[in-house]
Amino acid sequence: MQPGRWSSLGLVLALVPVSSIAMGGGLATDPFSTLHGLPSAPGVLWQGETQLPPLPKVAPAAEDWAGRDWTLAELTAYALGHNPQTAAAWNGLRAQAAALGVAESAWLPTLTLSTPISRRQAVSTAGFSVPVRNSVSPNLTLSYTLWDFGLRRAKVDAARAQEWVAGFTQNQSIQAVAFSVAQAYYQVLGDRALLLADRQTVAEQEKNLEAAELLHRAGQATIGALYQARAALAQARSTLAAQEQTLRASQGALAAALGLAPSTAIGLADLRLEAPPPPGLAEAAETLMQAAEKANPALQESRAQLAVAEANVRSTRAAGLPSLAVSGNYGYQFQNGFAPGDTWGLGLTLTVPLFTGFNRHYQIRQAQAQADQAAAQLRQSQSTTLAQVWQDYHNFQGALASYPGARSSLENAEKALEVVRAQYRVGQATIQDVLLAESSLAQARYTLIQKLVSSYVALAQLSQAVGMPLGEAQP
């Protein structure tokens, strides 16, 4: 290097610490300006620059969702194909299938082609330059593990068990989406039925107010009775307004379960109050619990997790044992000034781990503890599944048992209101009696709707706990 260049380099090296001091030591403490854009105080929101992926655009609905009434089966089928939860679980299963392929590839040899290309010039010890040499050396290398005491087999078993885990995870996602659609579907039907009941209550209260005004003008009702009728009408209208918003919320939940925008309007048939609840189950709770042990995907996933942990124990043990591999290579070298020539080699490699600082020892202990943990989690999953089936079974039976009483209560409340209204028209009952009878009728309507909806939701919950469809799916 020329003297001028040495002096320039020295000047730069001399100016670096000076500039660091001039910048308050910032270059030395944060040379890449990582603190740039951070909040000035703990309570200040971070608004740093980001390069996040864009949010996915919500595609317009391909169906005319408000043009006809959709059944629960149709909505469920659509949701399973369009809900992001099922798509994520399916892609997770595909990834684990690829991971199994990665593990299986260890049974095949590896073949690598490398081609070094170089241009080289050297100076001899005598002080004169050696001519430039250009060389090209293509080389093939083959390697294959002959024996590894079951290491590859254990890794394949672990990867296959992980695929089982992903498969049962997908099954859980499918059941979770199906249940969320069913729950939202029944909720919308129930809220719509409650909305119709509230509208009917408002209409009845408007008639009561008209009657109270007529009686008041005729001197047959007090001003207090008129005020009570007005208050009852105002309360009914308030309840109706609140129920309209509740229905909008449940409709948005149903649309979201389908993978649609919450504002999507979906046509559904009205819930018929005269519709019977789902029929009872012929199976006993014990029979359903036995079925859940074979069909519940969460329980099967725990079994697969135990298989993964046991395979990892075998893999960890085998990794500490000797392995035998064969390798070979063949190359051909082209170099100017020399005749081309080939090179080859063949050999066996025996690898015997002698001492790893107890690393392998603790890895085996860790893998065995994780297997024991997976076994305990399997027992816990089994207990939780059986308890859930037992509880959901009796919740469903309780919903069925309470339905006849709710139906009878509605019928009696309707008759009682007719009697009180007739007495009110002839002056044998007060406005308070009418309002009380109408309140009882409205409560009976609400109770019947809730019992009908809850019976179908309870059946859907039981089906999810067992892991298979049970009974009727739609009122």
Question: Where do the DSSP E strands lie in 61-116?
Answer: 110-114
Q: Residue 284: which pLDDT band, with cuts at 50, 70 and 90?
A: very high
β-pair partners for 325: 145, 349
Nearest alpha-carbon partner for 475 in 461, 450, 456: 456
Give the per-residue pLDDT at 336.
76
For residues 186 and 400, what is the distance between their CA atoms, to the nearest angstrom? 16
Looking at the predicted structure, is the pLDDT value of residue 219 above 90?
no
β-pair partners for 113: 140
| Average pLDDT over the chain, rounded to an integer | 88
> What is the residue extent of each domain of the chain?
72-110+150-322+357-466
Q: Residue 3: which pLDDT band, with cuts at 50, 70 and 90?
A: very low
For residues 356 and 362, what is the distance between their CA atoms, to the nearest angstrom? 10
The 8-class DSSP code of residue 106 comes to: G
Looking at the predicted structure, is the pLDDT value of residue 14 above 60?
no
SS3 437: helix
Mean pLDDT of 432-456: 92
For residues 280 and 292, what is the distance between their CA atoms, to the nearest angstrom? 18
Q: Residue 441: which pLDDT band, with cuts at 50, 70 and 90?
A: very high
Q: Residue 475: which pLDDT band, with cuts at 50, 70 and 90?
A: low
Q: What is the pLDDT of residues 27-61, one digit of tens each?
A: 778 888 888 888 889 999 988 778 888 888 776 66
Alpha helices in 336-425 (DSSP H): 359-425
Tokens standing for residue 53: 């992926």
Give the per-residue pLDDT at 342.
87
For residues 5 and 256, what is the distance between their CA atoms, to the nearest angstrom? 69
Q: At 181, which amino acid appears?
A: V
Q: What is the pLDDT of residues 114-158, one digit of tens each?
A: 999 988 877 766 666 667 788 888 999 999 999 999 999 999 999
Q: What angle do CA 7, 13, 17 make, to 5 degrees?
A: 145
- CB of 336 within 8 A of CB of 274? no
Tokens standing for residue 93: 């299963």
Give the per-residue pLDDT at 67.
84
User: Structure pTM?
Assistant: 0.84
Give the per-residue pLDDT at 20.
47
Task: State CA 430 to chain mean position distance.
Answer: 57
CA–CA distances in Å: residue 63 to residues 17, 258, 322: 69, 12, 63
Percent of the residues in the chain that have a pLDDT greater than 90, as a whole number? 64
Write the class of the CATH domain 72-110+150-322+357-466: mainly alpha
Looking at the predicted structure, is the pLDDT value of residue 11 above 70?
no
